[in-house]
A = this chain, B = another copy of it.
Amino acid sequence: MARALQLAEQGIYSTRPNPRVGCVLVNEAGAIVAEGWHQRAGQGHAEVNALAALGGSAKGLIAYVTLEPCNHTGRTGPCSQALIDAGIRRVVFGMQDPNPRVAGSGLARLRDAGVEVQGPVLEAGCRALNPGFIKRMEQGLPWVRVKLGMSLDGRTAMASGESQWITGPAARADVQKLRARSCAIVTGIDTVLHDDAALTLRAGELQLPEPQCSLALANPPVRVLLDRRSRLPAGSRLLSAGGPVLLVQGEPETYADAAVPYSHLSLPEAQSDGGDLRALLEALAARECNEVLVEAGSRLAGSFMAAGLVDELVLYMAPTLLGSSARPLLQLPLEQMAEQRKLAITDMRAIGGDWRITAHPVGD
């Protein structure tokens, strides 16, 4: 199963809206005889790819698969039936299908056909592969990851807005990977107006091996711009390259010179409790977005946090002090210590000259 997890990770940048899944076929002697992973939607699932890699008979083999084999006929046939047809003797699965309406039906079909079923095995690792897919299936919302660059004293920009290049090139390359694994990148109009941010994937910075690099670039995330007052100027870099754009504008604007496909999304008025942001996330989930990356300034990022809509914070901390006049990490006014937002830091590592902190909000 550990090997199946490694295989699944190879699809981290390309399977969306599908989950990342890996599959290993093992013989009676415990030796791996074939492997497969899901590359992109519309193409073979991990189990089918592993059977195809095997070529010959799968009779009597054991299949290790990170997710319960599917039981529906979508763009490909049901994997549970494919495993039965191939003569697989036993299926070891990592986690059940996260969609509560179908969970267990793939396993049931296997059992009904006389296949031994065992699991869940290494479930935490298998769930960690697909935080967005799982959350969307379970709650109808995407996994929201907020990325911010900050100084050691927790500041994201000078009071003037001056902010570019707080962190170094290694951190920027790392952010490329966060973008590539996301279905959508959400930003605010201030960020675009101030930096003319394009929020694109760049092959040179992405630094991925093949086939991951080509797969990622072939299927870039949708860039979502919150622009209630329709201030996005024609000629913005956002509209010049990098894949589709979704504009949240009060008065939908037309951009004749746009070089990328763009569309509009209508949302309720901005609400102090973040109801509009929740509506945005629901709309993105309805468009099959699993992981959403918020790359915005302290105000919009703070609004997501204040509304309790953040699943993961990724902070790139540069070894510098920007001082007490500079902009806060998050625009998040709290009065009492009892209102503090506790987090669990799950990862801390050096990224070039900066440090990356990964944290998750936790209850009290």
**What is A's interface to B at a CB cutoff of 8 Å?**
150-155, 158-160, 162-163, 298, 302, 305, 313, 315, 319-326, 328-337, 339-345, 348, 350, 355, 357, 359
Contact = CB atoms under 8 A, between A and B. Distances in A.
B322 A334 contact: yes
A323 B319 contact: no
Given A152-B345, A319-B344, A321-B330, 19 more contacts: A150-B153, A152-B343, A152-B357, A153-B154, A153-B328, A153-B329, A154-B154, A158-B335, A160-B335, A162-B336, A302-B324, A321-B334, A323-B332, A323-B341, A324-B329, A325-B333, A325-B334, A325-B335, A345-B355
Nearest to A302: B324
Given A152-B154, A319-B359, A332 B343 contact: no
A337 B152 contact: no
A144 to B, nearest CB: 15
A151 B340 contact: yes
27 contacts: A152-B154, A152-B313, A152-B315, A152-B329, A152-B345, A152-B359, A153-B154, A153-B328, A158-B337, A159-B335, A305-B321, A319-B342, A319-B344, A320-B341, A321-B330, A321-B334, A321-B340, A321-B341, A322-B337, A323-B330, A323-B333, A323-B334, A323-B339, A324-B330, A324-B333, A325-B333, A348-B350
A340 B160 CA distance: 14
Contact of A329 (B154, B341, B342, B344): B154
A339 B332 CA distance: 26
A313 B319 CA distance: 11
Contacts of A359: 152, 319
Contact of A154 (B150, B158, B160): B150
A362 to B, nearest CB: 8
A340 B319 CA distance: 10
A340 B324 contact: no
B326 A334 contact: yes
Given A154-B155, A154-B329, A348-B355, A343 B323 contact: no
Nearest to A349: B348
Contacts of A350: 348
Contacts of A322: 334, 337, 340
Contacts of A341: 320-321, 323
Given A152-B315, A329-B153, A348-B348, A162 B321 contact: no
A163 B336 CA distance: 10
Point out which of A155, A315, A337 has the most chain B C-beta atoms below 10 A from its C-beta. Answer: A337
Given A348-B348, A359-B152, A342 B320 contact: yes
A180 to B, nearest CB: 26
A312 to B, nearest CB: 13
Contacts of A326: 334
